[in-house]
Amino acid sequence: IREGFLGSILYKVPDKFSFRTDLLRRLIYAGIPNSLRGEVWSNLAGINEKRASSNEVSYGCMIQHFRDRISVATNDIKRDIHRSLPQHLFFQELQGRQTLEEILCMYSWRNESIGYCQSMNLICAMLLLYTTTENAYYLLSVVCGKFHD
């Protein structure tokens, strides 16, 4: 896939990108360029709508509110962080591991009915490689919510 072509499709329909079109399905099967994966995933998951939802608490507010809380889930997360793509340079750095831990802890507090499950760290680590911290959090919320609901 040419990056410019897929990028131009994304920008034509910024917040209401339908994944049920044959063209988009063919483009995704051909492979989404690394530089566009986070943006494509965010559009397809509808995270802009999720953020705009009146019952959604902003990521920044959650960090301020939950940052120092401790639970069984946060202890499990601390144990699993070092197993999250340890060969990748991003997670060899302290900042990468801290960012991953922050997202997982915020999710566990925001959705206490799920909390934290093994392998969430791997899903979230992969998301962090392609998108921003906040988008990775919302994408994790969408993925886990779809399987939980």
Output the pLDDT for position 86: 92
Full-model pTM? 0.80
Closest by CA position to 138, among listed 67, 53, 69, 65: 53
Residue pLDDT, tens place only, 2-23: 455 555 555 544 445 555 677 7
- Residue numbers in the chain where pLDDT is lower than 50: 1-2, 12-15, 148-149
Output the pLDDT for position 4: 56
